[in-house]
């Protein structure tokens, strides 16, 4: 059994299934993907979680032939030689394709792992680590130091203006760390569909702030529609150094293991499958 239908969970599920292992994937979301998230507002499409990914290992590169992806650009303020990849259908189309043929059961809330373990020999937990630890009756001190930054993400439909090629501004600052034009990026058919990510300090400070006040501070100019999404576990800030962690018949995996990237999540899923296989 795998809990979490994000990249790590789906990668592990596909790897185990290819070896003839019977796998069930449980996820609390309405559809698989986790932070590989794409949403529609009217005719506009937004990537509001993960925005792109890079490829740094041959192991990860070998998987791309199966993914619906293309190169987006090689930098946001000039060509730095490192390709950034996206999916033209939105980042969630990657995990949607990965889930095909797997036994994925969405909208399943798991409060305690023991309550759903009947009939299963082992479990891979790929939810954010604090959520995974809360499912257990015992402590796992080795993983308790893992921490995540939060992110307030705005989806702005019909913004006053869009962005020129390549369609993104990466500031990594405060209060805004990222702005992307999903139309220029090639994801949205409707122009001026803007994603805004607040920086971690602003997001933490305004986590409980009403949506209209957050919008007023992050979004200037006119727009047709706006929606706020709150990512509580947006990016690991303190990581576990190995690709996964095994404790008996339970393996922990995800982008908090090894490296906090899309590639890191995939490689962690492969490591988790190997640990059990």
142 plus 161 within the same structural domain: no
165 plus 222 within the same structural domain: yes
What string of pLDDT tens digits covers the 277 residues of the chain? 999 999 999 999 999 999 999 999 999 999 999 999 999 999 999 999 999 999 999 999 998 888 999 999 999 987 787 899 999 999 999 999 999 999 999 999 999 999 999 999 999 999 999 999 999 999 999 999 999 999 999 999 999 999 999 999 998 899 999 999 999 999 999 999 999 999 999 999 999 999 999 999 999 889 999 999 999 999 999 999 999 999 999 999 999 999 999 999 999 999 999 999 8
Look up the CATH number of the domain holding residue 196: 3.90.660.10
Which residue matches tokens 């405060």? 174
pTM: 0.95
Q: Report the domain count for the chain.
A: 2
112 plus 4 within the same structural domain: yes
Contact 218, 227 (CB under 8 A): no
Look up the CATH number of the domain holding residue 267: 3.50.50.60
228 plus 122 within the same structural domain: no
CB atoms closer than 10 angstroms to residue 164: 8
43 plus 120 within the same structural domain: no
Range of the domain at 3: 1-28+108-146+239-277
- The pLDDT of residue 77 is 82
Is 101 domain-assigned? no
- The pLDDT of residue 123 is 97
Is 156 domain-assigned? yes
């Amino acid at each position: 059994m795998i809990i979490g239908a994000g990249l790590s969970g789906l990668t592990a599920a596909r790897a185990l299934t290819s070896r003839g292992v019977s796998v069930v994937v449980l996820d609390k979301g309405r559809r698989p993907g986790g932070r590989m998230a794409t949403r529609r507002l009217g005719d506009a499409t937004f990537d509001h979680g993960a925005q792109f990914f890079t490829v740094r290992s041959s192991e990860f590169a070998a998987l791309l032939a199966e993914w619906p992806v293309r190169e987006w650009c090689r930098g946001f303020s000039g060509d730095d030689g490192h390709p950034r990849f996206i999916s033209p259908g939105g980042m969630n189309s990657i995990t949607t394709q990965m889930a095909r043929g797997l036994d994925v059961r969405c909208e399943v809330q798991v409060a305690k792992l023991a309550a759903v373990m009947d009939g299963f020999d082992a479990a891979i937990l790929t939810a954010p680590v604090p959520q995974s630890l809360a499912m257990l009756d015992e402590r796992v001190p080795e993983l308790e130091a893992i921490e995540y930054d939060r992110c307030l993400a705005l989806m702005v439909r019909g913004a006053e203006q869009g962005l020129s090629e390549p369609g993104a501004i990466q500031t990594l600052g405060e209060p805004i760390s990222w702005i992307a034009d999903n139309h220029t990026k090639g994801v949205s058919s409707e122009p001026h569909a803007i994603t805004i990510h607040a920086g971690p300090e602003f997001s933490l400070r305004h986590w409980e702030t009403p949506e209209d006040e957050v919008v007023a501070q992050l979004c200037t100019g006119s727009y047709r529609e706006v929606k706020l999404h709150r990512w509580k576990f947006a990016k690991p800030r303190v990581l576990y150094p190995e690709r996964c962690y095994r404790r008996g018949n339970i393996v922990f995996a995800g982008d908090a293991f090894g490296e906090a990237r899309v590639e890191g999540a995939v490689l962690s899923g492969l490591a988790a499958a190997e640990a059990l296989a």
